[in-house]
Amino acid sequence: MATHAQLRLVAPLEVEQPRRVPRTEFGGGGVRSMLLSKALSSTVRPFISVWARIPLAPWPYFVADYAGLALRPVAGTTYERMDLPNCRAEVLRTPSVEDRVIVYLHGGAFLVGGRFLHRQLMSRIADATRASVVAVAYRQLPHHPVSDSIADAVDAYRYVLESGVPASQVIVMGDSAGGYLAYQVALAAEEAGLPMPAGLVAMSPLIDFDGTAKVTAESAATCAVFPPNCFDGLSQVVLRAARRAGEVEALPQAPSNAALQGLPPSLIQASSAEMVYPDAEAMAGALLAAGAEVELQVWDHQVHVFQAAAGVLPEAAQAIEEIAAFVDQVIPDKLLAYA
């Protein structure tokens, strides 16, 4: 008896495949990277683990900033103090400076960092991008809530615009916690009716204060800097600061959950071996879903904010070159010198 194929009376549903985040994958894991990872995993990581057990103790957070004095910036780097409404800032310039301005928001979990810790990294970025870098010493935990950090970052961007620099010549950039602030600046600028910067750069960004997705990811086991309990400690400090400021006692909203349609092009760099790698992926995915232009660059076997080791690691120097190429792409013309 002949058989006949069964007729399909209903067309099968087409399942829409998720769009893959455009990314560039780099190698890594050389001898220098391995030595740096081992050094941090035996010093910084254990210290953070101890801190996370008693995060509300009166830790001398300011001491960490002075570690930056041992790091040598690019030769010829100059510094000029700048006062913002509620904090100070510093303008870094190198001999290569042209007509771009970077508003730089340093990392440090909203707890450490300031005038010295990120100077070397910022001077290398300034030199590679030929930009003036406005380094914002924003108010931080534990004495100020994260909302104050955001407000200071927005003030810095507004100051640059009011100084006569067109937004088309400005990049907002940050590492770790500063990556969170970079996206919050763009979102706040859009809400306030300010023009968007030419682009956003986030290195190893902390996007979500909820650590659940991060501590359960594979990258948590390979992170040389952050132990699994670090987000429990950070949450305690964040919530106490919010309570003391009279704010709603809740963790700050992740920018990946915001309306991102109007944001400018983004470059996100991360290591696949660091705790916050899932945040980098989540932010890139959210931007892509919103129709914003984004590229995710991923290095293997690198530490958190490995770009800071550009004088030692070839991968870090390569990452800064990629940042410079992105800046050249989004700011192709010389429109206005910033002095």
Q: Which residues are catalytic?
A: 176, 274, 304
Cα first-last separation, the chain: 89
Between the CA of residue 315 and those of 32, 89, 219, 303, what are the distances in Å?
Answer: 10, 29, 19, 11
Give the type of residue at 30.
Answer: G
| 3 state DSSP class of 59 | coil
Q: How far apart are CA 73 and CA 322, in angstroms?
A: 19
Maximum C-alpha span of the chain: 92
Determine if the peptide bond prior to 252 is cis (ω within 30°).
Answer: no
Q: How far apart are CA 250 and CA 239, in angstroms?
A: 6
Q: Whose structure tokens read 């810790």?
A: 117
* Run of H or E including 36: helix 31-41
| 3 state DSSP class of 329 | helix
What six digits make up the tokens of 140? 């931080």
Q: Whose structure tokens read 């928001």?
A: 105
Instruction: Provide the edge-to-edge strand list for the sheet that holds 294-299.
Output: 23-25, 294-299, 266-271, 199-203, 170-175, 100-105, 131-137, 88-93, 78-83
CA 165 to chain centre: 23
